[in-house]
Each structure stands twice: as C-alpha cells, then as structure tokens.
Chain A
Amino acid sequence: MDEEHLSFTAFVRGSGTRLLRFAVALCGDREQAEDALQSVLERVYPRWQKIVAHGDPEWYVKRGVVNELKDGWRRRKRRPEELGIDAELDGGTYTPFDAFVTRDAVRRAMTGLPTGQRTVIVLRYWEGLSEAETARLMGVSVGTVKSQGHRAMRTLRSTLRLEEDIEPAGAHR
C-alpha cells in the first residue's frame, strides 16, 4: 500500500464525518450528501498528492461538495423527483409549538430556498464563515453572497411569520 493511499485514507478517516455533516448541512438530505461527497472524493483520490501539495485539502473538498450539490440540484431540476413527494411548504397548517418543531419549521422553510441562498446562510450562520470566505468557497463575489443572504433571510422571516400567525383548526395551546 503506497504512501499516497495511506495519506488519503487517513484524511477520509479523520475528516470524513465532518465533511459529510457539511454536505448534509448544505443540502438537508443524507443520501444526497453521501453521494455528493463520494463523487468529489472519487475525483480527488487519483490526484491526492497534487491536491495535498497545494495545501488545505479539506477546503478543496468542501468547495467540490458545494459545486457537486449545485450541479446535482441543476440535474434534478431537469429530471423531477421520481418519488412525487411534495416538499413544498403548506403555508398555513403548521404551527411551531416548541424548540423541536420550531427547528423543523426553519428547516422546512430552508428547503424552499433556492440553492445559492441556502448555501450562503448555511456557510455564514452554521459554518461561521465570513462573507469573503463564503464567496471564495462558492466561487462567487462578495456582493452575490450579500444579496443572496439578504434574500434568504427575508424569505425565512416572511415564511416563519406566516406559519406562526396561523392556527390550525381545532388547535388548543
């Protein structure tokens, strides 16, 4: 077993779970995240030595995951989900009642965001990156990060307020 393979193995064992969580955070779907990370690492594996030589392979893989998920979203737009499960917000029958369900409401609202907007707010508020770092990871300008982040938060505010305002029939709190 050569040194390059051992180095790659050590990287996946050491950083793999963190990278998978990163991918899940970006797309909100475990299977999709696994597929995206696997695709990126399959491309990275044969070029591992060169990538390591450039420094910070984890950043490189994260960037690959961002792009892979973006491409994946594009592919799914061309070929609609086969399951036919409606993931749209129901916008009126949902009332957050505790921290758990509030988180669920936020996640559902995030599911409705366009890819770029969701990516920005995950990188900014969960990953804790600056606007400049977010822009670099996404391969866009800082201005784009600002505008997409602004739109995302505006959408979340309006969606969550809507849900909080509406009480379902028969509810008693």
Chain B
Amino acid sequence: MNTETRLESLVSASVEAEVRGVELPADFLIRITERRRRRAPRFGLLAVGLATATVAVAVPIVLTVNDGQDRVAVVAATPSSLDGKITEGPLPDGYGSEQTAKGAAGWQEADPKVTGVRVWVRDFRAPHDGGPEPLVATVRVLTGDVTFAKAVTAVEGAFDAPHYVDITGSFPRGEAVYRGPEADFDGHLVAWRPRKGLMIVVRSYALTREQTIDLVKGTTVK
C-alpha cells in the first residue's frame, strides 16, 4: 500500500470510527415536525465554566500521594471552579458511600504536564484502621485541547504507549480507551472523551475493570 492509498484508508477509517454508533435521537422526528430545538448538551456548561475559570498564580508544590505511586503537582487550588459541578460515578460497596469513601479536599487543579490542557484531580481513599488509607482511585477531568496521548501523559507523568485498547462501545457517546494490569502496571486506567474539549480519566488501584468503567461512565457534570 503506497502512502497515498494508506492515507485515504486512514481518512476513511477515522471518519468511520467517528460515525460508528451514531443513531438518530428518539425525538428527532418530532423536533422537525414541531420545530423544537435540540436540548443543550449535558457537558456544555462545564466547558463554559472551566474555560472561563480564573486560576490564581502560585508556585507549584509537589505533593506525594499513595506512598509514592503517584505525584500530583498542585498549581493553585481553585475549588470554586469545580465545586458542585462534578459528581463522580459510583464506587462499589465498601468504598463508594459517603460514609466509607474519603475524598481529598475537593477538586484541585493540577499541573497538566502537557500544553493546552487543564486538569482537575480528586483522590478517593478507602477507610483503614491505622496507617495510611489506601488509594482506591484518582479521578481527573481534563479540558482544553485534549487528546488521548495528552491524557496518558497527564496521568502517567510520561507518554507510556503500547497497551491501550479501544472500549468506545462501553460508553454512550464519544470515545474511550482502557489499560489493564500488566507486569509493570497495576490497576486499571480508563479515559473517556464524551465530547471535544473534555476528558474524564480514572486511574484505579482497588477496583475491577468494570467498576472503573462504571466510575468513569457515571461521572456527571451539572
């Protein structure tokens, strides 16, 4: 296959992937005959809110969490930019209720480690009698010029490539990728882009693949 033909095939495959799963909304016909407008997308408010949020200038502070498994450079806490706007998806029994899961102090904006992207992070830890509370999952919301490669870099701290699979079919819209346990990788990572400019990423340590997907899928934005 020469370069030109390969590029034509890539264009076709790219478009095909984009339209795969697109179905006519149930109320589409009635919208036409009664000239009703489409409802605003669910994530639209978030995009506006985050795009206009002001970030205070501060010297980055590196915090170590989860016994050094993950490092989050907190740029400047702007709790008001996300407070009340995001609801995380369900965590399983034993972790998931307000009584047993313990989140960090709300959402914090973190160093995205890549250009053109803003990242908000929240950790969830399980209750533990004495000693450090084990990290259950870290939920990240990325906005801006978001790509999967950037999301991976934002989560892993570097671009770690070869082991992601397309799990778009598990989600109602957009696209999603997954990385599961391997020799040098524990837990699960799911990145879901419900629409352009927004990505939800969960890195879980004490959940199953299905529980991790449910956590991502159930994350909603007012």
Tell me if B23 counts as interface (CB < 8 A to partner A): yes
Interface residues of A in 36-63 (CB under 8 A from B): 38, 41-42, 45
CA distance A103 to B12 in the complex (A): 9
A126-B196 contact, Cβ under 8 Å, with A94-B147, A156-B11, A173-B161:
no
Is B32 part of the binding interface, using a Cβ–Cβ cutoff of 8 Å? yes
Stretch at the interface among A20-28, A65-73, A136-144: A20-28
- CB of B166 closer than 8 Å to a CB of A: yes
Complex partner residue of B22 from A30, A124, A157, A171, CB under 8 angstroms = A30
Question: Which residues of A, 55-110, contact B by the 8 Å Cβ criterion?
Answer: 82-88, 90, 93-104, 106-108, 110
Q: Given the complex, which residues of A lie within 8 Å of B144, measured CB to CB?
A: 85-86
B51–A85 touching, CB < 8 Å: yes
Closest Cβ neighbor of B35 among chain A residues: A42
**Nearest CB of B to A27, in Å:** 10
Once bound together, how far apart are the Cα atoms of A173 and B164, in whole Å? Answer: 13
Chain A 133-167, CB-CB to B under 8 Å as 1, else 0, gives 00000000000000000000100110010000000
Contact in complex: B51, A38 (CB < 8 Å): no
Contact of B52 among A16, A84, A170 (CB under 8 A): A84
Complex: how many Å from CA A170 to CA B35?
53
Docked complex: A1-25 residues within 8 A CB-CB of B: 5, 9, 12-13, 16-17, 20-22, 24-25
Does B15 touch A at the CB level, under 8 Å?
A: yes
User: How far in angstroms is the closest Cβ of chain A from B140?
Assistant: 17
Chain B residues numbered 126-145 whose CB sits less than 8 Å from any CB in chain A? 143-145
User: A168 at interface (Cβ–Cβ under 8 A)?
Assistant: yes
Do B32 and A90 have beta carbons less than 8 Å apart? no
Query: Contact between B23 and A17 (Cβ–Cβ < 8 Å)?
Result: yes
Tell me the B15-29 residues at the A interface (CB within 8 Å).
15-19, 22-25, 28-29
The reply to whether A90 and B145 form a contact with Cβ atoms under 8 Å apart is yes
Bound form: Cα–Cα A125–B144 in Å: 30
Q: Given that A38-B38, A157-B7, A173-B162 are contacting pairs, would A110 and B22 also be in contact in the complex, using a CB cutoff of 8 Å?
A: no
Contact B11 A126 (CB under 8 A): yes
Residue of B10, B48, B116, B173 with highest tally of chain A CB at under 10 A: B10
| Nearest 5 interchain pairs by C-beta | A170-B158, A97-B161, A85-B197, A21-B19, A171-B159
* 15 A-B pairs whose Cβ atoms sit less than 8 Å apart in the complex: A17-B23, A28-B18, A31-B38, A35-B38, A38-B38, A85-B143, A87-B196, A94-B150, A97-B149, A98-B161, A100-B166, A103-B17, A104-B149, A107-B17, A170-B153
